[in-house]
Amino acid sequence: MKNNIYWKKNIRYITILLSLWFIISFGCGILFVEELNTITIGGFKLGFWFAQQGSIFGFVGIIFTYIFLMNKLDKNFKK
Amino acid sequence: MDLDCSWVKFFIIHRNCNLVARASTKEFYVAGGGVHPIANGMATAADWMSAASFISMAGIISFGGYDGSVYLMGWTGGYVLLALLLAPYLRKFGKFTVPDFIGDRYYSNTARSVAVFCTLIISFTYIAGQMRGVGVVFSRYLEVDIVTGVLIGMGIVLFYAVLGGMKGITYTQVAQYCVLIFAFMVPAIYISFLVTGNVVPQLGFGSSGADGVYLLDKLDGLHKELGFHEYTSGSKSLFDVFCITMALMVGTAGLPHVIVRFFTVKKVSDARKSAGWALLFIAILYTTAPAIAVFSRTNLIETVSNQPYDEMPEWFSKWETTGLLGFTDKNEDGLIQYNADTTVNELTVDADIMVLANPEIAQLPNWVIALLAAGALAAALSTAAGLLLVISSAVSHDLLKKMVMPEISDEANSLQLVLLLLEQYVWLDGLESTPQDL
């Protein structure tokens, strides 16, 4: 039972984080790149920025979020 | 150019790292399973960032513009899959290699042999790319033909891998990461400061140059003028970009020499951490590469386009010697016409030379150029070493020990390694490939 809850939470984290992963790379960097390119921040067109910079920063953020969430989950279930 | 001295120093540092890092036969495959996640992350970064990342990627982006994003997103996005879906579970299973996992999990020696076969194919192809990278470096600095450069590089890697030993490769790779990231960042920061006044290259390529025009806008303009596609929008179709990115992401998550690194940590949670640190260390280089691409592209076009051939700086003729840069004066006006239209275009530039030529084009001091060469070698050698380890463990552990002759001793395994290296040498001899293919 306990394991079951742990596993379900883990799957939930993974689903949410992988959706984010898809949105920042395939969404912002590829599928909607033209639309986002109409917005410029500094010298960057936003879509281009996501494809060459933003997505990579996002990936790092996603993995560290997952590490944080899972460590917390591990701690809760050790009690 | 005074490069000899830095070469020598570079090799001595590496040799020493290897000697210090030697460990017992027991620790051969997974370094005893006690590597700290940060160290493991750094080692993974060096292991994985190859000559392709160091030398070729910025060059490819520089010619492809937005099209080059497939490599940036594809090669880093795979780490998310690795950290969330693969690494923790492989670590939990607690085996040495991927074929081990597949063979034991699915109770099948056939599955195991398929995994061994895949591992070998991936590793051999990949290592060939490293050789081309080392070849580019040698061909330029020894001013020889690219083929000769590859041959020299091969000899050195063979010599280096046999002498240095493969045990405790982790700490060697940590040192190699430091060398390669320093070598990559210094010229990037230098050029970013020169061109835009901003010392952070990631911000620099979105800033404006001395003329007040945003760098990316200026490059888009230059590209249009010469008939190329716009830099920030690229020429590949949406479907191509989507599929290539997806393929590269999934492929990255499955690289055997990267996966094996997650077996070296103590706990499952450390495997997750390692993946995070690895991507962070990789991201430093990967977010800088597109900046270098923009700087080098702008500098190249401004230096050569419609300029007289006789007044080209020294680097031009030196790269011509390698055969990676070529000029044919089609309309015989003595000027270099660089154009997307192949009937008018008189200049051919191999994308692989952009990172190495960049500091020369921007007229940075010689020590920066030497540093880059050292970094490129560190990148290629660390990857080659990681791959050789995977190849040798696939053959001696998975194939021989688990399948063909279970009674084999560890000493015989070491003998195997030497034989393999020789085999590799012969195999590569007949091979000429480019990092772009990988």
Structure tokens at B103: 């063979």
The CA–CA distances, whole Å, from B266 to A25, B31, B269 equal 32, 10, 9
Question: Would you write out chain A's pLDDT as a tens digit for each of its 79 residues?
Answer: 778 888 999 999 999 999 999 999 999 988 988 888 888 888 888 999 999 999 999 999 999 999 999 999 988 887 6
**Residue B75: what are its φ and ψ, rounded to 5°?**
-75, -20
B237: left (phi over 0), alpha (psi -120 to 50) or beta: beta
3-state secondary structure B98-138: HHHHHHHHCCCHHHHHHHHHHHHHHHHHHHHHHHHHHHHHH
Q: Among candidates B380, B397, B381, B379, which has minimal Cα distance to B119?
A: B397
pLDDT higher than 50, residue B166: no
CA of B298, closest CA in chain A: separation in Å? 15
- The pLDDT of B328-357, averaged and rounded, is 83
| β-pair type (B347-349, A40-41) | unpaired
| Contact flag B245-A64 (C-beta cutoff 8 Å) | no
Q: Among candidates B293, B44, B358, which has minimal Cα distance to A63?
A: B44
Q: Among candidates B54, B394, B370, B131, which has minimal Cα distance to B256?
A: B394
Does any domain span residue B358?
yes
pLDDT higher than 60, residue B6: no
Residues of B within an 8 Å Cβ radius of A: 61, 66, 68-69, 72-73, 76-77, 79-80, 83-85, 88, 202-203, 205-208, 214-217, 232-233, 238, 241-242, 245-246, 249, 269, 272-273, 275-276, 279-280, 283, 286-287, 290
Tens of pLDDT, residue by residue over B44-69, are 898 888 878 888 888 889 988 899 89
| Contact flag B269-A25 (C-beta cutoff 8 Å) | no
In this prediction, residue B330 carries a pLDDT of 82
Residue B14 and residue B9: Cα distance in Å, rounded? 9
Binned at pLDDT 50, 70 and 90, residue B234 comes out as: confident
Does any domain span residue B437?
no
Contacts of A11 (CB under 8 A, 6+ apart): none
Q: pTM of the full predicted structure?
A: 0.81
Residues of A in contact with B280 (CB under 8 A): 60, 64
In this prediction, residue A13 carries a pLDDT of 94
Task: Round to the nearest angstrom and report the end-to-end CA distance of chain B.
Answer: 32
**Residue B338: what are its φ and ψ, rounded to 5°?**
-110, 115
Residues of A in contact with B233 (CB under 8 A): 37, 48
Q: How far is CA B414 from the centre of its chain?
A: 27
Instruction: Provide long-range contacts, Cβ within 8 A and 24+ apart, for B145-150.
Output: B145/B321, B145/B322, B145/B323, B146/B322, B146/B323, B146/B324, B147/B432, B149/B322, B150/B432
| Contact flag A44-B216 (C-beta cutoff 8 Å) | yes
Binned at pLDDT 50, 70 and 90, residue B405 comes out as: low
| β-pair type (A44-45, B325-327) | unpaired
Half-sphere exposure in the Cβ direction for B292 (13 Å, CA): 33
Say how many CB pairs under 8 Å bridge A and B.
Answer: 112
Residues of A in contact with B204 (CB under 8 A): none
CA of B283, closest CA in chain A: separation in Å? 6
The answer to whether the CB of B91 falls within 8 A of the CB of B266 is: no
**Is the dihedral angle over the CA atoms B157, B158, B160, B166 positive or is it negative?**
positive
A70 touches chain B (CB under 8 A): yes
| Contact flag B280-A60 (C-beta cutoff 8 Å) | yes
Query: Which of B215, B232, B269 has the highest number of chain A CBs within 10 A, making it the mutation to test binding with A?
Result: B232
Q: Reduce the DSSP state of residue B314 to 3 states and report it.
A: helix
| Contact flag B73-A64 (C-beta cutoff 8 Å) | no
Residues of A in contact with B77 (CB under 8 A): 21, 25, 55, 59
A31 touches chain B (CB under 8 A): yes
| β-pair type (B347-349, A44-45) | unpaired
| Contact flag A43-B207 (C-beta cutoff 8 Å) | yes
Pick B79's closest partner by Cβ from A30, A49, A59.
Answer: A59
Does any domain span residue B25?
no
Does any domain span residue B105?
yes
Q: How far is CA B139 from the centre of its chain?
A: 17
Residues of B in contact with A14 (CB under 8 A): 84-85
In this prediction, residue B413 carries a pLDDT of 53
Residue B239 belongs to domain spanning: 4-20+33-431
Tens of pLDDT, residue by residue over B138-163, are 887 788 888 888 888 777 766 655 55
**Is the dihedral angle over the CA atoms B206, B277, A12, B104 positive or is it negative?**
positive
Between B184 and B139, the more confident residue is B184
In this prediction, residue B425 carries a pLDDT of 46
Pick B279's closest partner by Cβ from A26, A59, A70.
Answer: A59
Binned at pLDDT 50, 70 and 90, residue B401 comes out as: low
- The pLDDT of B319-331, averaged and rounded, is 83
Does any domain span residue B280?
yes
- Cα torsion B233, B235, B240, B242 to 10°: value is -10
Does any domain span residue B438?
no
The answer to whether the CB of B344 falls within 8 A of the CB of B52 is: no
Residue A64: closest C-alpha in chain B: B276
A10 touches chain B (CB under 8 A): no
In this prediction, residue B434 carries a pLDDT of 36
Domains of chain B: total = 1
CATH number for the domain spanning B348: value is 1.20.1730.10
In this prediction, residue B427 carries a pLDDT of 45
CA of B82, closest CA in chain A: separation in Å? 10
In this prediction, residue B19 carries a pLDDT of 40
| Contact flag B272-A26 (C-beta cutoff 8 Å) | no
Tens of pLDDT, residue by residue over B94-123, are 777 788 888 888 888 888 888 888 888 888
CA of A34, closest CA in chain B: separation in Å? 8
Q: B392-424 burial string, b = 16+ CB within 10 Å, else e?
A: bbbbbbbbbbbeeeeeeeeeebbebbeebbeeb
Residue B223 and residue B229: Cα distance in Å, rounded? 6
Residue B409 and residue B427: Cα distance in Å, rounded? 27
Does any domain span residue B422?
yes
| ipTM of model over 0.85 | yes
Percent with pLDDT over 70 in chain B = 79
| Contact flag A30-B245 (C-beta cutoff 8 Å) | yes
Residue B191 and residue B434: Cα distance in Å, rounded? 27
pLDDT higher than 50, residue B4: no
Tens of pLDDT, residue by residue over B358-384, are 888 878 888 888 888 888 888 887 787
Does any domain span residue B28?
no
Report the run of H or E that residue A41 belongs to, with start and end.
Answer: strand A40-41
